[in-house]
Structure 1
Amino acid sequence: MTTILPVAPHRLPGLGHLPYLAWDQVGFYSSLLDLGPVVRIYFGPMEALLLTDPALIHQVLVTEADKFTKGRIFRKTRPFFGNGVATSDGEFHLRQRRLMSPAFHQQRLAGYGEVMRAEVERMTKGWRSGQRIAWEKAMYAVTPHIIGKTLFHSDLGEQAAAEIHRSLPLVLQGAVTRSLNPLPWMPAWTSRRYDVAGRRLDAIIDRILSSYADDDTDRGDLLSMLLNARHDDTGKGMSRQQARDEIMTLLVAGTETAAVSLSWLFLELSQHPEVESQLHTELDTELAGHPITFADLPRLPYLRRVVDETLRLHNPVPMSMRAAQAEVQLGPALARPGTEVVYSPLALHRDPRHHPRPLEFDPDRWARPPAAGTYLPFGGGRHRCIGERFAIAEMMIATATIAAGWRLRLAPGSRVRSAAYTTHHPVSLPMILERR
């Protein structure tokens, strides 16, 4: 280090700061914002540098990204998620990204919008005014169907969607636990629980791949593009294992994070009737009772602000990591090769220096965009989420479709708790449906 860097308080022998991260990850990272632009934290015995300055985060993600690789958490999760576009690095990552990019172009998104709306309408068809539902479970139920029918042209079915809801959080938890665990072992029953969940997800992915077996027809979806693509140098196509890895990546990104974000969004609407009323006015005026389409999205600026504010206050990703592969000066710190670097999008989004009244849900703050680098819901640089536009469209279309006909109210006596070990999500959201 080129200077003495502050160490996060309450470090425990052997465990470092892991107990505090397990208890309140968001609170832990947020509590360190005033200690300096770089703070030393410990995952067990492993030291990492936490960046709290947006300029330093931008340096790692963009201007000097070539000096960094995906961090330990990505390396250690590859046995679970494979070498998909979210976990891969270097030239291989760029090649996979190029193969996948056409599936997220504007023309494709227009067609996806129809599927998104239809799946949400199918979910709401059986609703009754006054009915109580577990809102977070409803969101976990609908998002796998959207991903299946848009990117894989596959009807996953209710059983498969329920299995994704059950197993995906366990697989995420197992992956993160193993990547940050300072001990070389885990209790056998815990390890077995995670492995069984992983096998259940693999069975669903195998079913999707089997439906494409010996069929080189371009169905116009992402999976067709991947399976039919040929590398220029060898003329060979993608292996079944690589296709599996990309499907797993999309299931994680397209179901877990989307479900979590939509869960938070409707909780905030239920707690802020003035925001809900303004949103209803925009939807009623601009859509005039017609079902929303992808072409309508630019005419709904307030809806977009609601989405952006949800992703600011309740970003699903509590932290991300990179590892230095060359010597890099990061403000007061000299990161040597192998140094793990950490940043928390959620803590950054709640930093009062960049976002006044950070814990207040205020879509109107987006009338004037925040300073560059202070809002990173989809990461940045070469690893910026490839499905960003898909995710924004999904949230806007789902919100508009539901809010056009329904209000949701938090069930009386309910106390909302959040957890942020793998994703920042509400533990339980019992909601009462009210027909508009």
Structure 2
Amino acid sequence: MASVTPTAPAGAGPRLAPGPRGRFLVGSLFDLRRDLIGFLSGVSREYGDIVRFTVAGFTVHLINHPDHLRHVLQVNSRNYDKQSFEYKPLKLAFGEGLFTSDGDFWRRQRRLMQPAFHRQRIQQLGEGIVQDVVDRVDTWQPHAERGEPLDVAAEMVNLSMNVATKSLFSTGLRGDDEVAAISRYLDTIVNYCLYRATVPLAPPPRVPTRRNRAFNEAMSGLNGIIYRILHERRRDGGDSHDLLSMLLAARDEETGEGMPDKQLRDEIATLLLGGYETTSNQLSWAWYELSRNPEIEARLHDELDRVLGGRLPTVADVPQLEYTRMVLEETLRLYPVPWLERRAAGPDRIGGYDVKAGSLIYISPYLTHRHPDLWEEPERFDPERFTPERSAGRPRFAYFPFGGGPRLCIGNRLAELEAQLTLATIAQRYRLRMVPDHPVEPKMMITTSPRYGLKMTVEPRRSTA
């Protein structure tokens, strides 16, 4: 058994959380690099809901209990910022957008942008989602007729990116090729940021290595599209009834000033990333689980037939699609963001243990969503966990796929609406079945995606309504 970091008796100095000692100088760095979630799962089982370890000289606290998560993400959130090693590379790509900014600047930006995500505005954006889905799945018909599989994970990426770009720019994009280009640029950019987060001595971006050149080209391509659309929209004026129109109209309540183009660029790039990655992965894993659980799929189909009666769903139908919602919530329970990171700006106490200033806080929705004290049979796919009866009394931070506290994801309502309308539209028309022996493995990076895609066959379905 691994040795445990000693704790001090009460009154004898700092009380330190237990955890593995790790190796000389590097601590648990190599364990994290080899298998991040495997290592975090193992130390959680061995040491409990707060685990202390070191990574290359940094003190890290892994927290899993809802009470401790509530403390960091909500109660004392101002003490926990994003000035950590994980987020520094992301600033290269997303600047001072909502995902990477902190402090008073972040609070100002959040106030500026919040009206763009008002419920009524989100519902207006939702009205166009179903037609986007229909247009995409129309291209599946030849696959259905010939029994040919398609990569459903790639299809969900394409679909979610199309929805995200239309929500942001209802006008301005130059066809499907430019939408596909944005997806490629973001994929290159995100992979580069993750590389820099795990390789501390990587050459600076200005050094012309192969990886740096690819990153700089992707940044140039993405920025070229965003700034061109910004220029055209400022030149032409008017309200295009999209998120960009709202962002351009936003004014600081004290100064009356709007956002400069550089800040708009950072926010748009951030929204593009958040607008497609989480939703596309959620939908991909939903199809995978429905394929594995035909009795759950049958219940979903029963609800769609009863509520919709063979017609396409609308935003007004969403409140009645309760089982559809539960399927998607259970999917995000099992396949959420793997982990988040914060930095303690000042000293604190969490769960009775001392946390010194500068410590890193690791938060893993993946682990908390599988906590055996919070979830019965945590590895089983069971949408009915989210009935009102079974949800009653569940701690707020037992389930937090979109974060929590002041930094709750600003686009969570739009993401939820898109996922429900997409799942309902496709499941009403098709059954999707995994190709036998296709490898399925979660790839855990910023989100949890299928490492090898999801090869599935498409079976036409007829409503029984």
Partner of 1:70: 82
Deviation string, structure 1 residues 17-49 (Cα, Å, up to 9, x no partner): 444434433322222223123212444333321
Q: Report if aligned partners of 1:406, 1:434 keep a CA contact under 8 Å in 2.
A: yes
1:181 aligns with 2:199: yes
| CA–CA separation in structure 2 for the residues paired with 1:139 and 1:119 | 12
Deviation string, structure 1 residues 73-101 (Cα, Å, up to 9, x no partner): 23442121111112222222222222222
1:418 aligns with 2:433: no
**If you compute each CA radius of gyration, which structure gives the higher value, 1 or 2?**
2
- Compute the RMSD of aligned alpha carbons: 2.1
Partner of 2:234: 213
Q: 1:160 to 1:36 in 2, by over 3 A?
A: same
1:38 aligns with 2:58: no
Which secondary structure state, in structure 2, belongs to the residue aligned with residue 385 of structure 1? coil
Pick which of 213-222 and 412-421 moved more.
213-222
TM-score, scaled relative to structure 2: 0.88
1:338 aligns with 2:358: yes
1:21 aligns with 2:32: yes
Q: Report if aligned partners of 2:112, 2:252 keep a CA contact under 8 Å in 1.
A: no
The one-letter code matched in structure 2 to 1:117 is V
Q: How many angstroms does 1:194 deviate by? A: 3.0
Question: Identity percentage over the alignment?
Answer: 37
| CA–CA separation in structure 2 for the residues paired with 1:389 and 1:346 | 21
Q: How many angstroms does 1:383 deviate by? A: 0.4
Does 1 or 2 have the higher relative contact order (CA < 8 Å, sep 6+)?
1
Q: How many angstroms does 1:14 deviate by? A: 5.5
Pick which of 384-393 and 223-232 moved more.
223-232
Q: Report if aligned partners of 2:16, 2:354 keep a CA contact under 8 Å in 1.
A: no
Which secondary structure state, in structure 2, belongs to the residue aligned with residue 357 of structure 1? coil
Alignment match of 1:360 (pick from 377, 380, 386): 380
The one-letter code matched in structure 2 to 1:408 is L
1:132 aligns with 2:159: no
Which secondary structure state, in structure 1, belongs to the residue aligned with residue 397 of structure 2? coil
Alignment match of 2:306 (pick from 270, 285, 309): 285
Long gaps (5+) in structure 2: 1-12
Long gaps (5+) in structure 1: none
Partner of 2:455: 430
Partner of 2:3: none
| CA–CA separation in structure 2 for the residues paired with 1:309 and 1:260 | 13
Q: Report if aligned partners of 2:250, 2:258 keep a CA contact under 8 Å in 1.
A: yes
TM-score, scaled relative to structure 1: 0.93
Alignment match of 2:367 (pick from 336, 347, 366): 347
Partner of 2:168: 151
Q: Report if aligned partners of 1:81, 1:245 keep a CA contact under 8 Å in 2.
A: yes
Deviation string, structure 1 residues 196-253 (Cα, Å, up to 9, x no partner): 3333322332333233132332222221122223334443321100000010110110
Query: Pairwise mapping of residues 220-235 of structure 1 onto structure 2 (< 5 A)?
Result: 220-235=241-256
The one-letter code matched in structure 1 to 2:454 is L
Q: Report if aligned partners of 1:173, 1:422 keep a CA contact under 8 Å in 2.
A: no
Q: How many angstroms does 1:397 deviate by? A: 0.4
Q: Report if aligned partners of 2:19, 2:43 keep a CA contact under 8 Å in 1.
A: no
Partner of 2:344: 324
The one-letter code matched in structure 1 to 2:299 is Q
Query: Pairwise mapping of residues 71-86 of structure 1 onto structure 2 (< 5 A)?
Result: 71-72=83-84, 73-86=86-99
1:197 aligns with 2:218: yes
Alignment match of 1:113 (pick from 113, 120, 126): 126
The one-letter code matched in structure 2 to 1:97 is R
Pick which of 161-170 and 369-378 moved more.
161-170
Q: Report if aligned partners of 2:94, 2:270 keep a CA contact under 8 Å in 1.
A: yes
